[in-house]
Structure 1
Amino acid sequence: MSTSKTFVFRSSDNGTFKVEEAVALESQIIKHMIEDNCVNSIIHLPKVTSNILSKIIEYCKKHVKTPKSEERNSGNAFKTFDADFIKVDHYTLFNLILATKYLKF
């Protein structure tokens, strides 16, 4: 049994989230930080709150665990997930957009 490397994301309000490397690598910023050995096990994200970070992690986990070939074959399932994912209030949606831009997803 192999163990996947994990990182801890720390939000602006000090929330912590244990994240597998594959999920962390969805962010181009974090991917470059990892590749350049600029992080230890904790990655501080001072511009993202716990509420928003948890939603982003949820989204990334869903997309990481589903192979690209399966995604193409059952596109409707992803369209439904994505559509439901953004059914949030305007404030939350705005902050999701800002966070994804900041983290380059």
Structure 2
Amino acid sequence: MASESKMIMLRSSNNEVFEVEEALAFESQTIKHMIEHDCADTVIPLPKVSSNILAKVIEYCKKHVTSPKDDNNELESFDAEFVNIDKNVLFGLMSAANYLNIKSIS
């Protein structure tokens, strides 16, 4: 069975567009709901998430989607290093995770 990834376009609050695989976008329950209920056009606007924070959210989700599910040590190490950032960036990340409903970040 060939798996062809559907790509999703996300637009940050400062109008930067990110193209991500649907599986990655579905880490966000907010985005998943918008897609499943045809509430989104070709680009999903995320007015409460800046491009620098969205890039970090995408990095986090990508790691969690692509990592082997049986390797918790790798994810725990990644998560510990991932949150070792500037407090303002961390606050933006937590706000974005809340807005996007990404439970694994918060």
TM-score calculated relative to the size of structure 2? 0.89
Cα distance in 2, alignment partners of residues 40 and 51 from structure 1: 23
Letter in 2 for 1:90: K
Aligned counterpart, 1:43: 44
Cα distance in 2, alignment partners of residues 102 and 78 from structure 1: 23
Alignment of 1:11-22 (within 5 A): 11-22=12-23
Aligned counterpart, 2:35: 34
TM-score calculated relative to the size of structure 1? 0.90
Which SS does the other structure have where 1:43 is aligned? Answer: strand
Q: Kindly report the root-mean-square deviation, in angstroms, between the aligned alpha carbons of the 2 structures.
A: 1.2
Alignment of 1:26-105 (within 5 A): 26-68=27-69, 70=70, 74-105=71-102
- Given that residues 7 and 19 in structure 2 are in contact (C-alpha distance below 8 angstroms), is that contact kept between their aligned partners in structure 1? yes
- Given that residues 10 and 45 in structure 1 are in contact (C-alpha distance below 8 angstroms), is that contact kept between their aligned partners in structure 2? yes
Identity across matched positions, percent:
54
Cα distance in 2, alignment partners of residues 45 and 29 from structure 1: 10
Q: Is 1:8–2:9 an aligned residue pair?
A: yes
Q: Point out 4+ residue stretches in structure 1 off by more than 4 angstroms.
A: none
Give the helix-richer structure, 1 or 2: 1
Letter in 1 for 2:88: Y
Q: Structure 1: which 5+ residue stretches go unaligned?
A: none
